Chains A and B, each alone.
Chain A
Amino acid sequence: MSRVPCAIVGSGNIGTDLMYKLQRSPLLELGAMIGVDPDSDGLARARALGIDATHEGVDWLLERADRFSIVFEATSAWVHRQNAPRYAEAGLQAVDLTPAKLGPLVVPPVNLAANLAAGNVNLITCGGQATTPIVHAVARVCDVPYAEIVSTVASLSAGPGTRQNIDEFTKTTSSALVEVGGAAYGKAIMVLNPADPPILMRNTVFCALGDGYDRDRVGQSILDMVAEVSRYVPGYRLKNEPVFDEDLFHTPGGEVKARVVALLEVEGAGDYFPPYAGNLDIMTASAVRVGEAMAGAGA
């Protein structure tokens, strides 16, 4: 079976990390790397690998759209909003790694199968990919009136796109906790830590637990989900067993008597950025997972 041809638009940190992962895919063939900056490190690396690389932007891609089936957008939310209608018109299926949130929000172990036919799917944010599965794991076994996540990444791993639009990160992630995770209310917090040596990406998930929750079932469901995510993000792990706290918590989703806290760490595969940048890794690993499923479904 021949591999399905795809392209990456955006030659920054995320796009370049994705390039290395796609190189290893048995189902996808990376045909082009598209940027706008002739001096981009990502484009130079693509050329070194023998991949078509251009700084002529998305026009270059659209002139030869028939050569590709899937396009991975690794630019910014603003740029993706400009590009998305043009991809659709050209018949390209888009996997959006920006927080633009145009298509359905997808987290592979939660709702990938249901969205394979969508023309545009959105991968939320790195924090969203790391935490939404856990919220879903809790919500599938009990009521979650409110979920909150704290995502902390090494300063060096946060590029200018993230920095100039930190609100898009928090808003898009918050909505994923509700729309995909299944919580009634959601809040996302992002923290940048400049420590040297850089810290591994950390994510903490707090879920308010509705009355009648079963501690063993909630704990087991979280462990199962961590195992499932770690199949495509090998560095994804719990730092400690899920922590259950009983107290009175006045959450935006109402008063609850208990919460569970999952303390997660994501170590990257070190494809482009060093392993501390688990935030890049989980985004690009999820993108490959989605792209491969699309390819398998006959994109």
Chain B
Amino acid sequence: MTPRFRLTDSTLRDGSHAIAHQFTVEQVRRVVKALDGAGVPVIEVSHGDGVGGSSFNYGFSHTDEMVLIRAAVEEATQAKIAVLMVPGIGTKDDLRKAAEAGARVARIAVHCTEADISQQHIALAHELGMESVGFLMMSHMIEPEALVAQARLLESYGAGTVYVVDSAGAMTMDDARRRVAAVKAAVSCQVGIHAHNNLSLAVANSLAALEEGVDQIDGCTTGLGAGAGNCPTEALVATCEKSGIPTGVDPLRIMDAAQDAVRQIRPDMGVIDRDGLLLGYAGVYGSFLLHAKRAAERYGVDTKAILLELGERKVVGGQEDMIIDVAVELQRRAAAAQNAG
């Protein structure tokens, strides 16, 4: 049966956030082999912040991502390999290198109000013969009408798909439904949803989006990803199977992939602890979580206080440097209070 939507598994990209960008060639080969074997049609491989993301600000990659992409391409028999690229972090050169390494889908990610910085990168993806996807991060921050305007821009640049991306895992089911329905009604290209599980709604939001006609859905096996994790691919596939929604992915094999190839990478993935939940509650970019935990340790302050202040400041994806700013500020305030007291 023809699948009702196209699944992209981002374990090897969004999952990179969850392990501070330490993927090895062996891990990538094992995961791609398992996902490809289960029938996953698209597998994304990149630094968590996209190609070119290796840095002080986002964390240095253990292994050059082009080496990882090449390994993934070699291992895949039917799946296409995708990459993420964030304009302002990566450059067109990174996209060219990814294409050379064999990536066939270019997902260009921008903050949900800044679609117009992606035009040259979407154009380049076409030139390189790659399928192009426009990825509107932090879509919860703006109303459906505003999101529609940005989606239309991406479509006008030639994006084959426009994604509603819940980077902070902050959307309720109604939030997801309204945004996907509005975008779906406004564009003629495909529409996708990328959900995070901070409010424990990733599968539910993906299915609500499907009811509104979404064409593509992202998952990460075991949920391995930023914040409390992504939409767990194996749970999504199992739920679809039980609901009579064809996915093209074998439910038992994807469960095996999760258990045998991915679970060992981070055994505690899937737990929604206080800090993960706070991201969804306060609407904070999911990949800030590990950085905030590390800064809390480094500067002797509270993770929760950092996350709440980041939410207050309305920082956007890419501003990981503000975590240091907030932590140092909290440290200074605490020292001043101690001196005063």
A residues whose Cβ falls under 8 Å from a Cβ of B? 148, 150, 152, 155, 160, 163-167, 169-171, 187, 189-195, 202, 204, 206, 208, 239-240, 243, 245, 249-252, 259, 261, 263
A189 near B57 with CB under 8 A, answer yes
A150 near B119 with CB under 8 A, answer no
Q: What residue in chain A is nearest B89 (Cβ atoms)?
A: A189
A259 near B314 with CB under 8 A, answer no
Partner of B321, one of A190, A208, A245, A263: A263
A148-B56, A250-B60 known; A166-B117 Cβ under 8 A: yes
A192 near B55 with CB under 8 A, answer no
A164-B117, A202-B321, A206-B57 are known contacts; what are 20 more A-B pairs with Cβ within 8 Å?
A: A148-B55, A148-B57, A160-B116, A163-B117, A164-B116, A166-B88, A166-B117, A167-B120, A171-B91, A190-B88, A193-B315, A193-B319, A194-B316, A195-B314, A202-B325, A208-B56, A239-B329, A240-B329, A243-B324, A263-B321
B60 near A249 with CB under 8 A, answer yes
A170 near B88 with CB under 8 A, answer yes
A193 near B56 with CB under 8 A, answer no
Contacts of B329 in A (CB 8 A): 239-240
Distance in angstroms between the alpha carbons of A85 and B318 in the assembled complex: 38
Contacts of A243 in B (CB 8 A): 324, 328
Q: Could you say which of B88, B314, B322, B332 has the most chain A C-beta atoms within 10 Å of its C-beta? A: B88
Q: Could you say which of A166, A170, A259 has the most chain B C-beta atoms within 10 Å of its C-beta? A: A166
Q: What residue in chain B is nearest A251 (Cβ atoms)?
A: B60
B113 near A191 with CB under 8 A, answer no
Contacts of B328 in A (CB 8 A): 240, 243, 263
Q: What residue in chain A is nearest B60 (Cβ atoms)?
A: A250
Contacts of B332 in A (CB 8 A): 240
A164-B119, A245-B298 known; A191-B319 Cβ under 8 A: yes
9 contacts between A and B (CB under 8 A): A150-B320, A152-B322, A164-B117, A191-B316, A191-B318, A191-B319, A193-B314, A195-B316, A251-B60
For residue B6, CB closer than 8 A to chain A, the reply is: no
A155-B113, A202-B322, A245-B298 known; A191-B60 Cβ under 8 A: no
Distance in angstroms between the alpha carbons of A202 and B298 in the assembled complex: 22
Q: What residue in chain A is nearest B87 (Cβ atoms)?
A: A166
Contacts of B114 in A (CB 8 A): 155, 163, 192, 194
Interface residue SS majority, chain A: strand
Number of B residues, CB within 8 Å of A: 32
Distance in angstroms between the alpha carbons of A252 and B119 in the assembled complex: 29
Distance in angstroms between the alpha carbons of A163 and B320 in the assembled complex: 21
B residues whose Cβ falls under 8 Å from a Cβ of A? 54-57, 60, 87-89, 91-92, 111, 113-114, 116-117, 119-120, 298, 313-316, 318-322, 324-325, 328-329, 332
Q: What residue in chain B is nearest A250 (Cβ atoms)?
A: B60
Distance in angstroms between the alpha carbons of A194 and B114 in the assembled complex: 8
A164 near B120 with CB under 8 A, answer yes
Contacts of A195 in B (CB 8 A): 313-314, 316
CB distance from A47 to the nearest CB of B (A): 30
A263 near B314 with CB under 8 A, answer no
Distance in angstroms between the alpha carbons of A170 and B45 in the assembled complex: 23
A194 near B319 with CB under 8 A, answer no
Distance in angstroms between the alpha carbons of A193 and B141 in the assembled complex: 12
Distance in angstroms between the alpha carbons of A164 and B120 in the assembled complex: 7
Q: What residue in chain A is nearest B321 (Cβ atoms)?
A: A204
B88 near A204 with CB under 8 A, answer no
Instruction: Enumerate the 5 nearest inter-chain pairs by beta-carbon distance, A residue then B residue, closest first.
Output: A204-B321, A191-B318, A206-B56, A195-B314, A190-B88
Q: What residue in chain A is nearest B320 (Cβ atoms)?
A: A150
CB distance from A263 to the nearest CB of B (A): 5
A150-B319, A191-B318, A194-B113 known; A251-B56 Cβ under 8 A: yes
Q: What residue in chain A is nearest B58 (Cβ atoms)?
A: A189
Contacts of A150 in B (CB 8 A): 57, 318-321
A239 near B325 with CB under 8 A, answer yes
Q: What residue in chain B is nearest A193 (Cβ atoms)?
A: B316
A148-B57, A167-B91 known; A192-B117 Cβ under 8 A: yes
